[in-house]
Copies of this chain bind each other. A is one copy, B any other.
Amino acid sequence: MASDAKTGDQVRTQARGLWDTPTVPALAAVPAALHAHATVLRTRRRQTLALALDGGETAFIVRAGALTLEVTLPDSGRQVAALLFPGDLLCSSFAPPYAEATLVVAAPGEVWRMRLAALETLAAGDPAVLRYLDDAVARSMGRQVIHAATLGQFNCEQRVATLLVDLALHTGASSPGGGIVFELPFNRKDVADYLGLNPDTLSRVMSRFKTAGIIGQLERNRALLRDFGSLAARSPAARSLMAISGGQPSGAPLGAVAV
């Protein structure tokens, strides 16, 4: 990152300014106390994490990197049900039965894995852990609800704009030349399956955004967002996403573990 680049938090503040959104209470950070009770996994790209650990309910806490939760129902295409970023929590019980569900690493990083039962025991004794649990579950559900609205109501342009806003909020940093540089840890097929679109259609919309001057030259897995405002204006979920991500501690590069 360039020395004068702002952090993701600053990007969000700037974004809030554009929309005149009041400040949101900071979300609960991952309690460091959990570290001692969790298995630390260093994740590699395309690695899949087994959801069920020898039968017991398992909890996964994303510390760095990004993951996708992929679900395939019989006689149906693959659906990316959720994108997971640092701070997010996923329990194996969240995956529906009789569906092929896998947790796939999109950007390398770190994941803490522990028994759900152990996590709940800790939560019963430590208010900070309980607060984090509540917060993380509420955030997942909130994102799922937004995702349902995205899939059910938005047209293809709104869907893509929504995803780009989300990515910018999670991985973006202001670039020296103006605009926001953010990472694209997911390939086109993953994104298309998340948005319920065809990869070709996705490509077309991205080209449209490029010629409209909203996004700039795409390198490998990286993009320049020139105009956050008009992107947010094209996504009905922009304000909600900003509020959900608003208090998250880290907007640092996906690979970095928060201290």
Contacting pair B240 A81 (CB below 8 A) = no
A73, A77, A140 interface centre (most CB from chain B within 10 Å)? A73
Contacts of A101 in B (CB 8 A): 145
User: Which B-chain residue is minimally distant from A81 (CB atoms)?
Assistant: B145
Q: What secondary structure prevails in chain A residues at the interface with B?
A: helix
A209 lies within 8 A of chain B by Cβ: no
Contacting pair B147 A97 (CB below 8 A) = no
Shortest A199–chain B CB gap in Å is 14
Shortest A103–chain B CB gap in Å is 12
19 contacts between A and B (CB under 8 A): A24-B97, A57-B134, A71-B145, A71-B149, A76-B154, A77-B153, A79-B153, A91-B138, A93-B141, A98-B243, A99-B146, A99-B237, A99-B240, A116-B134, A144-B145, A144-B148, A151-B152, A151-B196, A152-B193
Contacts of A81 in B (CB 8 A): 145, 148-149
Q: Which of B24, B73, B236 contacts A149 (CB 8 A)?
A: B73
Contacting pair A143 B96 (CB below 8 A) = yes
Contacts of A200 in B (CB 8 A): none
A95 lies within 8 A of chain B by Cβ: yes
Contacting pair B142 A79 (CB below 8 A) = no
User: Which B-chain residue is minimally distant from A76 (CB atoms)?
Assistant: B236
Contacting pair B236 A94 (CB below 8 A) = no
Q: Which of B69, B142, B149 contacts A94 (CB 8 A)?
A: B142
Assuming the contacts A96-B145, A243-B97, asked whether A195 and B77 have C-beta atoms less than 8 A apart, the reply is no
